[in-house]
Chain A
């Protein structure tokens, strides 16, 4: 019914569906942000631990400025959250919203990788 489609479409396109909105939006997590989410998927970590973890699994060294730019944005988007700590080095944890975003991005990358593998096989 058309009348029911209107609120449904408004809801579907509303930014309240934050995870889907983040995937479409130009403000979607950058590569650095995705590396941080991947690092935090195994548990809370502070900045230095994230840098070493990312270096180990992605062979990429994120600079401290790049790391904190991405951290600030992820925190603002509600994808990660700080964990209370007495130490100056504050750890961060991934939020449920962050996990959803990471899963969606992983699915998307998996589909792309599958297409690339199939197309390369024909050559």
Chain B
């Protein structure tokens, strides 16, 4: 077997970048079990690293933060279409099946918070180090990843719209926060308030 065929074991994005030069290198080397084993182990490592990075790295956090928030974004767009532009279709399509589904409602309200937490986790990394006897230092490592910043901004926007709706639109006096034991700001669901 030609060792260059082992390149197929690597992830696609790796092959796109390195396949020509890597196959050139493999052609120059004598075929031996150690070379084959080294390439196989490295290919498995590349695949694992790619998967880990996809789901735990900054991009993974941004992606997860966005996926978590998608239902809330859909609801906010449906609100805007119905109450600002008078297009009721999408809102009614969502609110019909969701009538009385409290768990979905809670999810929609808390999802942007969760998204924000996930995005923040990628943007700021605090570390606590012991710097002497009884002394600890807290360090904040920052990362201005554009995609994560964009997701965090969208999460803040969605939160603003939802909170504005829940806190202000349905409070007795515009601009005043409901006081305990007034209705929870996130209850009843908006589709029960029509």
Interface residues of A (CB under 8 A from B): 9-10, 13-15, 21, 46-48, 51, 63-69, 71-72, 87-90
Residues of A within 8 A of B42 (CB): 63-66, 68-69
Known: A9-B139, A64-B26. 16 other contacts (CB 8 A): A14-B141, A15-B143, A47-B21, A63-B34, A63-B42, A64-B29, A64-B42, A65-B39, A65-B40, A66-B38, A66-B42, A68-B42, A69-B42, A71-B18, A72-B18, A90-B21
- Point out the residue from A51, A69, A72, A89 that lies within 8 Å of B24, measured CB to CB: A89
Q: Does B192 contact A (CB under 8 A)?
A: no
Count how many pairs of residues, one from A and one from B, have CB atoms less than 8 Å apart in the complex.
Answer: 68
Report the separation of the CA atoms of residues A51 and B30 in the bound assembly, to the nearest whole angstrom: 13
- Point out the residue from A9, A15, A64, A90 that lies within 8 Å of B38, measured CB to CB: A64
| A64 touching B39, Cβ below 8 Å | yes
Residues of A within 8 A of B46 (CB): 69, 72
Interface residues of B (CB under 8 A from A): 14, 17-18, 20-26, 28-29, 34-35, 37-43, 45-46, 139-143
Report the separation of the CA atoms of residues A15 and B122 in the bound assembly, to the nearest whole angstrom: 13
Report the separation of the CA atoms of residues A61 and B40 in the bound assembly, to the nearest whole angstrom: 17
Chain B's closest residue to A65 (CB) is B42
| A10 touching B140, Cβ below 8 Å | yes
Within the complex, what minimum Cβ distance (angstroms) separates B120 from chain A?
15
Report the separation of the CA atoms of residues A95 and B26 in the bound assembly, to the nearest whole angstrom: 26
Residues of B within 8 A of A63 (CB): 34-35, 37-39, 42
- Point out the residue from B22, B37, B139 that lies within 8 Å of A68, measured CB to CB: B22
Report the separation of the CA atoms of residues A69 and B45 in the bound assembly, to the nearest whole angstrom: 8
Chain A's closest residue to B17 (CB) is A72
Report the separation of the CA atoms of residues A63 and B139 in the bound assembly, to the nearest whole angstrom: 38
Chain A's closest residue to B25 (CB) is A47
Within the complex, what minimum Cβ distance (angstroms) separates A6 from chain B?
10
Residues of B within 8 A of A51 (CB): 25
Chain B's closest residue to A52 (CB) is B28
Report the separation of the CA atoms of residues A64 and B46 in the bound assembly, to the nearest whole angstrom: 13
Residues of B within 8 A of A69 (CB): 42, 45-46
- Point out the residue from A21, A46, A64 that lies within 8 Å of B35, measured CB to CB: A64
Within the complex, what minimum Cβ distance (angstroms) separates A49 from chain B?
10
